[in-house]
Amino acid sequence: MADMQTSLQTTRLASLRTLLAEKELDALLVSGPENRRFLSGFSAREEMLAESCGSLLISAGAAYLLTDFRYRDWAAREAPAFEVLTYQAGLGDTLAGLLKELGIRRLGFEAGYLTCRSYERLAGDALQAGVEVEWSPREGMVESLREVKTPEEAALMRRALALTEAVFREVAPLVTPGLTERRVAWEIERRLREGGAHGLAFSPIVAAGPNSARPHHHPGDYALREGDPVILDLGARLEGYCADLTRTLCLGPPSDRFREVYRTVREAQRRAEAGIVPGMMSDAADALAREVIMAAGYGEAFGHSLGHGVGLAVHEAPSLSPYKDRVTPLKAGSIFTVEPGIYLTGWGGVRLEDMVLLHEDRAEVLTSLGFLELE
């Protein structure tokens, strides 16, 4: 097992080194928690932005994991492909020493993860140590390696999703008038944990009645009422890998509006799932669903992207966004969500979210949960 893990890490390091050469970087400083885990195997996760469990410094010939006393033994055990170095008064001096020793002139860093304060400190420490290095902000380098999943990663995600669906099946019958959103969220959270999840992919969303018009509502004291649409969005995490699932329920007999909105969202989802193939641009995938919702007159009410990649992070590449600046071709082997929604302020909303695995010729819907039967 340890050997398999090391060979996985060696393969991933080799892919990153090819990218370093392409981008003419001497090394990359990795601060993103999922990127750090993906490359090294070290599974610690920060609970706060201002905290760090460690960083990686990877050059053509070296791979270091820099951390402090709290994580030293853990990192050494989980990341045998890396040399673990411990710092005491912060990363700066240790990093400066390594940059000098390795002769790094052009250093990539993860602009999306290294805070402004950390960057200024690290650059200041390097300068003070007399190291002449160009700091080159980078985005998406390791993320691009994470986009296509190995069969082992896909298998883990199927398991995380199966657990998530089992919890949904248990909780759905409990969703009845009088319960608060918070209570339903706790029923979900408790069952995910008891069912064997190593953690939550994200805090469950329970949005009822008018609150369901807010796509990322935080469950509160609102007590569910007869006739309410209720959006449940949940996901287990297993070995770091996430699942993501949304279904919308209706308490009691659905209104005509609920029927129309629900059918439209489901049809949009069905069209996208049937039409997405590898090589398709991500905005074209989004358009498959968006056109259905626009044709039904709800274009303005679908204010988010069709979906997002899932993996070690619950939101990662690719982004199935309508915005041109985020357009990428969809790749076989990637796993992402298809989650159209319609949100009407004052009334509520409907979102339906599946996970799909893109094969060479089609998108396989990994989610097995059905839908409301509205005649």
For residue 189, the minimal CB distance to Zn ion (Å) is 15
Among 31-39, 162-170, 229-237, 272-280, which window interacts with Zn ion (CB under 5 A)? 229-237
- Name the residue nearer to Zn ion (CB basis): 94 or 164: 164
What is the distance between the alpha carbons of residues 142 and 50, in angstroms, rounded to a whole number? 21
Let me know: does 181 contact 207? Beta carbons within 8 Å: yes
For residue 299, the minimal CB distance to Zn ion (Å) is 20
Cβ atoms within 10 Å, residue 162: 17
End-to-end CA separation in angstroms for the chain: 52
Site track for Zn ion across 344-373, x = CB under 5 A:
---------x--------------------
Among 48-56, 81-89, 136-144, 232-240, which window interacts with Zn ion (CB under 5 A)? 232-240
- Name the residue nearer to Zn ion (CB basis): 53 or 342: 342
Tell me if residue 309 falls in helix, strand or coil.
Answer: strand
- Name the residue nearer to Zn ion (CB basis): 273 or 353: 353
- Name the residue nearer to Zn ion (CB basis): 52 or 367: 367
Q: Which uninterrupted H or E stretch holds 86?
A: strand 83-86
What is the distance between the alpha carbons of residues 4 and 168, in angstroms, rounded to a whole number? 34
Closest by CA position to 52, among listed 98, 94, 13, 11: 94
What single-letter DSSP state applies at residue 278? T
Q: What are the φ/ψ torsions at residue 206 (nearest 5 degrees)? A: -125, 115
Among 82-90, 175-183, 206-214, 231-239, which window interacts with Zn ion (CB under 5 A)? 231-239
Closest by CA position to 281, among listed 321, 309, 340: 321
Q: Does 165 bind Zn ion (CB under 5 A)?
A: no
- Name the residue nearer to Zn ion (CB basis): 84 or 231: 231
For residue 306, the minimal CB distance to Zn ion (Å) is 10
Beta strand pairing call for 63-67 and 55-59? antiparallel
What is the distance between the alpha carbons of residues 8 and 41, in angstroms, rounded to a whole number? 9
- Name the residue nearer to Zn ion (CB basis): 32 or 235: 235
Of 122-161, binders to Zn ion (CB under 5 A) are none
From 110, 187, 228, 244, residue interacting with Zn ion (rule: CB under 5 A):
244
- Name the residue nearer to Zn ion (CB basis): 33 or 215: 215
Scanning the structure block, which residue is given the tokens 């319960």? 179
Of 313-342, binders to Zn ion (CB under 5 A) are 337
In the complex, which residues of this chain contact Zn ion (CB under 5 A)? 233, 244, 246, 337, 353
